[in-house]
């Protein structure tokens, strides 16, 4: 089956990098249970009677369990905004769940972090389970685990791939060998870098 969008690290449903409608087949994956529940609410509100698959899992380059480090704070919304302001926290702190234990601290934020073990699958596993034959756009936003997420992809080549490059070498570190090897692999798979900014890299498949 054809899927318009597969979003890994879907958070609350924003910033999906393409236009979708309720009739489109899409997969949204979010590992943090509390955020996943907000994601469900937001997508069902914004896309009533949608044709989406929502999964409360992590994605990496293996099937099993994955340790994540989760900011132990209320999820940002208008009701808790004063709580954030009082502690001088930016509204994106609840997006910093990562495989890196010190990811929050390395953002120079004094926020408690808890460790969680979550179910983890590969992109190829999702492709098999959901009978995915084609993907228009794959988006990954996993605060540093994107290269491993992409290593788990070999069965379907999306037309477009958008992945967060900012933390691929570690929190806010300069792009290096991990990034270069990721780009090299996708060039060998028929992709070119369409554009790149300080947050994300956009790949487009030009060779079928």
DSSP string, 114-136: EEEEEEEE-HHHHHHHTT--EEE
The pLDDT of residue 3: 97
pLDDT digits (tens, 9 = 90+) for 74-91: 999 999 999 999 999 999
The pLDDT of residue 14: 83
The pLDDT of residue 198: 92
Burial 88-104 (b: 16+ CB within 10 A, else e): ebeeebbbbbbbbeebb
Sheet holding 191-196, edge to edge: 52-55, 26-29, 2-8, 134-140, 160-164, 200-205, 191-196
Residue 197 carries which DSSP code?
-
Q: How confident is the model at residue 134 (pLDDT cuts 50, 70, 90)?
A: very high
- Comparing 20 with 16, the larger pLDDT belongs to 20
Predicted TM-score of the model (pTM)? 0.95
> Taking the CB of residue 142, how many other CB atoms lie within 10 A of it?
25
Q: How confident is the model at residue 194 (pLDDT cuts 50, 70, 90)?
A: very high
pLDDT digits (tens, 9 = 90+) for 140-180: 999 999 999 999 999 999 999 999 999 999 999 999 999 99
Q: With beta carbons less than 8 A apart as the criterion, state whether 71 and 80 touch.
A: no
Strands 64-71 and 113-121 come out as: antiparallel
Residue 168 carries which DSSP code?
B
What whole-number percentage of the chain has pLDDT above 70? 99
* pLDDT at 207 > cutoff 80: no
Three-class SS state of 66: strand
Q: With beta carbons less than 8 A apart as the criterion, state whether 61 and 67 touch.
A: no
Q: How confident is the model at residue 208 (pLDDT cuts 50, 70, 90)?
A: low
């Amino acid at each position: 089956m054809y899927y318009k969008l597969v979003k890994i690290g879907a958070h609350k449903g924003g910033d999906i990098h393409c236009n979708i409608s309720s009739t489109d087949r899409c997969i949204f994956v979010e590992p943090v249970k509390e955020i996943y529940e907000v994601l469900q609410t937001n997508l069902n509100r914004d896309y009533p009677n949608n044709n989406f698959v929502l999964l409360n899992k992590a994605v990496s380059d293996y099937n099993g369990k994955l340790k994540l480090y989760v900011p132990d704070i209320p999820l940002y919304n208008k009701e808790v905004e004063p709580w954030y302001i009082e502690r001088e926290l930016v509204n994106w702190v609840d997006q910093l769940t990562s495989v890196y234990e010190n990811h929050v601290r390395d953002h120079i934020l004094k926020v408690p972090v808890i460790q969680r073990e979550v179910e983890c699958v590969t992109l190829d596993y999702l492709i098999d389970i959901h009978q995915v034959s084609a993907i228009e756009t794959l988006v990954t936003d996993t605060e540093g685990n994107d290269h491993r997420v992409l290593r788990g992809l070999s069965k379907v080549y999306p037309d477009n791939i958008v992945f967060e490059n900012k933390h691929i070498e570690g929190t806010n570190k300069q792009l290096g060998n991990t990034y270069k090897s990721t780009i090299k692999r996708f060039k060998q798979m028929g992709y070119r870098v369409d554009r790149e900014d300080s947050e994300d890299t956009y790949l487009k498949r030009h060779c079928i």
